[in-house]
Amino acid sequence: MTPVSSTIVEQEILRVPSFKNTTLIKEYPSEISRAGPSTTTKQGLFTYSVGVKLLGSLIASGSSATTSDGSVRRHAKIDNTQYIYEGRSYGVGSSVGIQDTAITNRTSAVDYSYHEDGYLPQVQCSYNRSMDFVIGREFPSRIFGVSGWLPDSVGSQQYSEYVGHSTDAIVAVGVAHSPESIRRYVSIAAGKSYLALNATQCTVDFTPTRFNVSVGIRGRNITVIPEGQIDDFDSQRNLTRTVVRQFELISNDLTNFYESILGNAFLSSITAWNISSNENGTVPEAEATLRGLENAVTAMTESILAAYGAAQLMVGNFSEEREASVTIGVFVIGEIVYVVAIAIINALVLLAVVVETIRTRGWKGLPPFDFSDPEWLITASFRGGELSHTWNRDAEGILVAQSTIKGPVSSYTPIHQRGDEDQHHVEVISEGEGGRRVALMLQSR
């Protein structure tokens, strides 16, 4: 009957991002006075200027995209909730830690899971040596124009400007403004210091998918599993277009006279891929570069998606309800097998008591016996005897207990005790013609 831990599952309502209204999701200028709507709470910074205000978190995501030991990637949400993704985030799970207080405030809650709709990004990178997206000459001083046509360019070529002592430290990313292309392209032109990245081109396909999000409350971990494709919830693809456009803003903002921070993040992922998957150097360097780059672009894309989801929740207040299954820790009285067995034993004992009660007619006719009184115990347990069921009082009012010995007795020493008020005497005597021996106890008050 010892209590053991168990769990039950209850349903709770959770609010998740809604993308039915995406009017606030657009490309805002990098100027600080023209940034998109933002808010800061104890859970973190939430903004629609993702590629400008969340640079540190996004670069950390790209740098850690590949684990050097080949293990499952563990990475933090880009907020202050201290939750960790186990594996890919797929850009969902924004509600965790910021819209789940009704669940996490329950002290007995262990974990919960729910479904969320999002996009599954699939990235493939290759070298496109014929790409005309290139770094131009210096004009004016220390400013370099980067321009060219991309596979999904519409109407005009891409153009942006980068600073530097030379082209060596430049890593320029080109992303078309096209509202028509479902597939997005990320093209990279790089200087001598990042030559491995030059002329690389990545395609990013976004598949509308329903995900199962599992949250461990005590361990503060999140696991996301794709469950299947669904209808597109943002048919204009405003979200996916804006997500990929952030790469151009990041590359421009994080290139200085000496290095490219974005380029360094890409190289970190490439180096980790070589360590974990190309230890013997059997994979060509170009192939290793593309695999590491794919991981970095994928990780950053998913972090940007999650950031826009959080902005929809915390800034735009665009959300919808989802039912979450919450696991609650409880205690039960033993396992069912033992509970049933003990219940049966108790029932048998109770039945025996009832039967004995009926047999003795409610215990009538049984002698009184005080187990806490040593004299009564002595009388009942002397060697070879048992306490009689016959009780009488003599003419003087003395209580006499008689017990017939059923076995041979070698000897017995009478016991005599006096108190201030009571007097007790136990003695073995012979009775009748058969010479039976009995024990007597006399008590005077």
Q: Longest C-alpha distance within the chain, in Å?
A: 142
**Which of 13-17, 169-173, 223-227, 386-390 is predicted with the least confidence, judged by mean pLDDT?**
386-390
Could you give the CA distance from residue 327 to residue 329 in angstroms, rounded to a whole number?
7
Q: Is 168 exposed, middle or buried (0-12, 13-18, 19+ CB in 10 A)?
A: middle
- DSSP per residue, 163-217: E-SSSTT-EEEE----SS-SSEEEEEEE-GGGGGGTTEEEEEEEEEEEEEEEEET
pLDDT at 392: 60
**Could you tell me the pLDDT band of residue 186, with boundaries at 50, 70 and 90?**
very high
Instruction: Average the pLDDT over 433-438 and give the result.
Output: 57
CA angle 96, 300, 273 (to 5 degrees): 115
Token couple for 27: 């490309």
pLDDT at 293: 98
**Which of 17-21, 384-388, 422-426 is predicted with the least confidence, judged by mean pLDDT?**
384-388
Choice between 53 and 32, residue whose per-residue pLDDT is larger = 53
Q: Decide: 20 and 316 in contact? Cβ < 8 Å.
A: no
Instruction: Average the pLDDT over 364-390 and give the result.
Output: 61
Choice between 396 and 128, residue whose per-residue pLDDT is larger = 128
Q: Is residue 55 predicted with pLDDT exceeding 80?
A: yes
Token couple for 79: 């907020």
Q: Which residues are paired to 3 by β-bridges?
A: 333
pLDDT at 384: 47
**Which of 89-93, 248-252, 370-374, 420-424 is predicted with the least confidence, judged by mean pLDDT?**
420-424
Q: Decide: 244 and 204 in contact? Cβ < 8 Å.
A: yes
What pLDDT digit, counting tens, does each position of 270-322 carry?
999 999 999 888 999 999 999 999 999 999 999 999 999 999 999 999 999 99
> How much of the chain, in percent, has pLDDT values that exceed 70?
80
Could you give the CA distance from residue 299 to residue 121 in angstroms, rounded to a whole number?
9
pLDDT at 411: 44
pLDDT at 363: 72
Using DSSP's 3-state secondary structure scheme, residue 123 falls into strand
Which contiguous run of DSSP H or E holds residue 430?
A: strand 423-431
Q: Is residue 383 predicted with pLDDT exceeding 70?
A: no
pLDDT at 395: 63
Q: Is residue 358 predicted with pLDDT exceeding 90?
A: no
Which contiguous run of DSSP H or E holds residue 155?
A: none
The amino acid at 183: R
Cα separations (Å) of 108 from 5, 84, 216, 249? 11, 21, 12, 45
What pLDDT digit, counting tens, does each position of 192-246 carry?
999 999 999 999 999 999 999 999 999 999 999 999 999 999 988 999 999 999 9
Which contiguous run of DSSP H or E holds residue 147?
A: strand 143-148
Choice between 201 and 423, residue whose per-residue pLDDT is larger = 201
Instruction: Average the pLDDT over 369-391 and give the result.
Output: 59
pLDDT at 5: 73
Nearest to 31 by CA among 52, 16, 45: 52
**Could you tell me the pLDDT band of residue 380, with boundaries at 50, 70 and 90?**
low
Which long-range contacts does 425-431 make (Cβ < 8 Å, 24+ apart)?
Answer: 426/375, 426/378, 426/379, 426/382, 428/382, 428/385
What pLDDT digit, counting tens, does each position of 82-113 carry?
999 999 999 999 999 999 999 999 989 999 99
pLDDT at 295: 98
- DSSP per residue, 305-367: HHHHHHHHHHTS--EEEEEEEEEEEEEEES-HHHHHHHHHHHHHHHHHHHHHHHHTTTTTTPP
**Could you tell me the pLDDT band of residue 74, with boundaries at 50, 70 and 90?**
very high
**Could you tell me the pLDDT band of residue 413, with boundaries at 50, 70 and 90?**
very low
Q: Is residue 403 predicted with pLDDT exceeding 60?
A: no
pLDDT at 382: 57
pLDDT at 279: 87
Q: Is residue 7 predicted with pLDDT exceeding 50?
A: yes
Mean pLDDT of all residues belonging to the chain: 86
pLDDT at 356: 84
Q: Is residue 430 predicted with pLDDT exceeding 60?
A: no
